[in-house]
Structure 1
Amino acid sequence: MRTRYTLFKSDTEPIVIIMAILLVTGTINVFSSSYVLAAMDFENPYYFLQRHLQWLVIGIVACWFCRRMNYQRMRGLMFVGMGITVFFLVAVLFVGTTINGAQRWLAFGPLSFQPAEFAKLMAVLMGAFSISAVLSKEHFRMERDGSQVAIPFGAILVMAFLVYREPDFGTACIVFGVPLLMALVLLVRPLLWLWIVPVTFGLAFAIGTLQPYRMKRIDVWFDPWSDARAAGYQMVQSLSTIGSGGIFGMGFGDGVSKYEYLPEAHTDFAFAIFSQEHGFFGVLLIFFLFAVLLITCMRVAARAKDTFGQVLALGIIFLVLGQALANLAMVAGLLPVVGVPLPFISYGGSSLIVTMAGMGMLLGIADRSQDAPPAKKKPETAEERRSKMHAVR
């Protein structure tokens, strides 16, 4: 019997290794992209790094806890979690901290967090609960079982509306868009996508144009140099930052765009600073890591032992790696500026904790799939035994 050799002992090992590499890379990049701003505004070049490390520790604990917890138990706690999330989303509209014209943060002592980030993960859980309930039924009737879809997606829509009111249109699109994408992929026939997808994008575009500043973002997306000193400034600086990195980059800490040239250099546009300092080969490394992470996570989703685990794993993939794709496209000018952080790389406590918690759930799904007992082999029938006997003869 031929021995089968594999590079990793389990599906979780490559995921943990890639996460560790990305987290270390992100921590180094957070310091490199923020120490100038931290020294000027807080007289401490390590200010953002220290806070990032605090959030990172909390994120690792959240990842460990979610991995250890049986994801099946989350069904019973789902509506409680949704109620708590909605409570915080409402609270932030009244007592939240306003930064750059948006009221998105709740402060608890020296730390603050964004409830909208936790709404993303809760929306994925609610969507997985609803979709898996539909898939587990052999015959689904909307008049009889429609509440299993309408109630969870109605709650998701409420959360998305509350996030939109902060205002945070980009995050609101993620809160409702990821579960909608899960439903389209798993429940809807591809032919129906021909009208559902255009209608959805049309509604999102119409809502996005209700505010003049959002319409201005779309205008400068097509031609950022038409208003390079105002609305298009951030995009122009981002493209210039990426281009100036060349093949090998300027070197760690030597990027110049963080000297107040590129706004949000350590948050949404952290990847632009990374590109400037590490060049084309550094960018390829990040792309390669996210591509391998996608493949390994899809393997976990395919091997999950139950429908809820498969759908939940797919939703986490859409959430984490979908945000990565959106951020990379935004920084490169392929999408308008929507304020989506790059998972593992960008500075942001709430986003990091939610990302780590989601990956912990996915690792838990992988662990329980490997621990599941193998399926019992059916006993051979008399006809199968006779066929084998004829084959031997």
Structure 2
Amino acid sequence: MLSNDSPPGLDYVVLRIVIFSLIGIGVLMAFSASMATSQAESGTFWGEAIRQVVMVAFGLVMFWLALRTPPRVIRKYSGAFLLLSIVLLIVVLTPLGTGRDSVGSQSWIDLGPVSIQPSEIARIAIALYGAAVLAGQRFGMHGFQTFQRCWRDAFVRYSAVATLMLVLIVAQGDMGMAASFAIVAGFTLFFAGINSKVFLILVPFVLAGVIWVFSSGGFRSARFHTFFDALTGHIADTQEDGYQTYQGFLSLADGGVAGVGLGQSRAKWSYLPEARNDFVFAIVGEELGLWGGLLVIVLFAALLLFGIRTAMRAQTQFQALAAATLTTAVVSQAFFNISYVIGLLPVTGIQLPMISAGGSAAVVTIGAMGILCNIARHEPEQVSAMQNYGRPLFDRLLWIPEPEPIEDAPRPKGGRRRADGTGRPRSSRPQPEFGPAVTQRRSGHPHSVPTPRR
């Protein structure tokens, strides 16, 4: 972890560089990896890529709105956002939901040219809701002797809501997203301070679920068999169940160290299924080589490092929990995707955040990263730097206002609290020789009256 004497605003700057770099790589891969499928579906090579650019543009608008929204407002409406996500999870199970016939899970809601995946929204909603209700709470503080006391505990209420949403996602048939959602909820409880013994209780249930999937047959069971074959270096069925994994390995092998060149992938021409979505990392490795794949991994590692660092330096516990959970939600998703592409985990169908082509997933993930950057710019050291030297150029160009004061900071007697919660706000302008100005209100209008120095 970086030292505490690093310059103010370092987290805010690095997070923006990392996020925009991942988005840029994603746009490049959208133009490259979607050429074949776009030509087959719409008769033009760039149809899918242009659609992805439009969705990324919407995501950047959400990023900008998230930067402009004070954290207290995000916390206030986290419950409403959660309720919306639950409603969408229910709607997708009705005849309005699609995807069961094509990909085996009923996970999307078609809205004309745009499809919404409610489970992607649910992952962010449960993270923000958990940060809001668990901030300032201590596990077991209400006891568990009676149902009333048990339900009064914020950890119990949060776990009940998360379990309900998990059941709705499992009902869609999307086990990969269900596992990702469960990990986000688990990280939220972990960062909030739940007793680690609770997770040990869940281990037998998780193992039982894995054994059931492995032995139940179907395409999910076949993925486990392919995974074990890949670990031994020999995929028995390279034409049916193991075809996608085998073609992914070939793509990575063809890329070598330097890659075949941007746009020169052969696997994307109908050899590798879901080349623009689930297996886009294989196309990255083929076209950009080992160095391109390592670049993506390093960027996600940097996102994890500076996201957790932002959580450790956050103003309030709500901001700390939100930053830590949003960071681990995105990085864990990237870990699962890259791991199954290179053969370290069974294929789960989870997309690579900000790089895989996807509509609502891109918008939601980029918007969530805007919330993370917003928390970074509210670090006390960054706020103090803004007060003394003004807002950074990025904020001024995008009309992002100054951070608000800390929500729970005490107000000093006789003056307003500063945005870092320590006292009276300082101005970036030099003070006159006779001392600070005292603001008085006369007839509803503020007037600055100089007070002589004593």
Q: What TM-score range do you get, normalising by the shorter chain? A: 0.7 to 0.9
Moved >6 Å (runs of 4+): 4-8
With the length of structure 1 as denominator, give the TM-score of the two structures.
0.88
| 2:106 maps to 1:120 | no
**Which whole-Å CA distance do the structure 1 matches of 2:304 and 2:182 have between them?**
22
Does 2:41 match 1:41? yes
Q: CA deviation at 1:139?
A: 4.8
Which is bigger in relative contact order (C-alpha 8 A, separation at least 6)?
A: 1
Report deviation, 1:206: 4.4
The Cα offsets for residues 178-200 of structure 1, whole Å up to 9 and x where unpaired, read as 1113323542455x378346335
Show the counterpart of 2:277: 267
Q: Give 1:174's aligned residue.
A: 180
Alignment-derived partner of residue 184 in structure 1: 190
- Equivalent pair of 1:184/1:193 in contact (CA under 8 Å): no
Q: Distance in 1 between matches of 2:106 and 2:16?
A: 35
Matched, 1:141 2:146: no
SS for the counterpart of 1:106 is strand
Amino acid across the alignment from 1:93: L
User: What CA distance in whole angstroms lies between the structure 2 residues aligned with 1:194 and 1:167?
Assistant: 24
The offset of 1:236, in angstroms, is 0.9
Q: 1 CA distance for matches of 2:134 and 2:9? A: 31
Residues 9/86 of structure 1: CA separation in 2 closer, same or farther (3 Å cut): closer
Counterpart mapping for 1:67-78 below 5 A: 67-78=67-78
Q: Which amino acid aligns with 1:201?
A: V
Of 353, 366, 391, 2:363 maps to: 353
What letter matches 2:71 in structure 1?
Answer: Y
Partner in structure 2 of residue 195 of structure 1? 200
2:403 alignment partner in structure 1: none
**AA paired with 1:172?**
A
The residue that corresponds to 1:288 in the other structure is 298
1:160 is aligned to 166
Give the aligned residue type for 1:251: G
Which residue number corresponds to residue 249 of structure 1? 259
67-76 vs 87-96, greater mean Cα deviation: 67-76
How far the C-alpha of 1:117 sits from its partner, in A, is 0.8
Q: Distance in 2 between matches of 1:102 and 1:5?
A: 49
Cα deviation code 1:124-175 (max 9, x no counterpart) = 122223432424x895534546531222221121111111111111111222
The residue type paired with residue 24 of structure 2 is: V
One-letter amino acid of the counterpart of residue 311, structure 1:
L
Aligned length: 371
**Matched residue SS, 1:93:** coil
SS in 2 for 1:244: helix
- In structure 2, the residue matched to 1:96 is 97
1:318 to 2:328 alignment? yes
* Corresponding position of 2:14: 14
The structure-2 alpha-carbon separation of the partners of 1:28 and 1:194, relative to structure 1 and needing over 3 Å to count, comes to closer
Name the counterpart of 1:220.
Answer: 226
Q: Which runs of 5+ in 1 are unaligned?
A: 377-393
Partner of 1:110: 113
Which amino acid in 2 is paired with 1:362? L
- C-alpha distance in 1 between matches for 2:286 and 2:202: 36
Question: What is the Cα deviation at residue 71 of structure 1?
Answer: 2.2
- 1:131–1:187: 8 Å Cα contact kept in structure 2? no
Map of 1:381 onto structure 2: none
**Equivalent-residue separation in structure 1 for 2:217 and 2:63 (angstroms):** 37
Q: Which structure 2 segments of 5+ residues have no match?
A: 384-418, 424-454
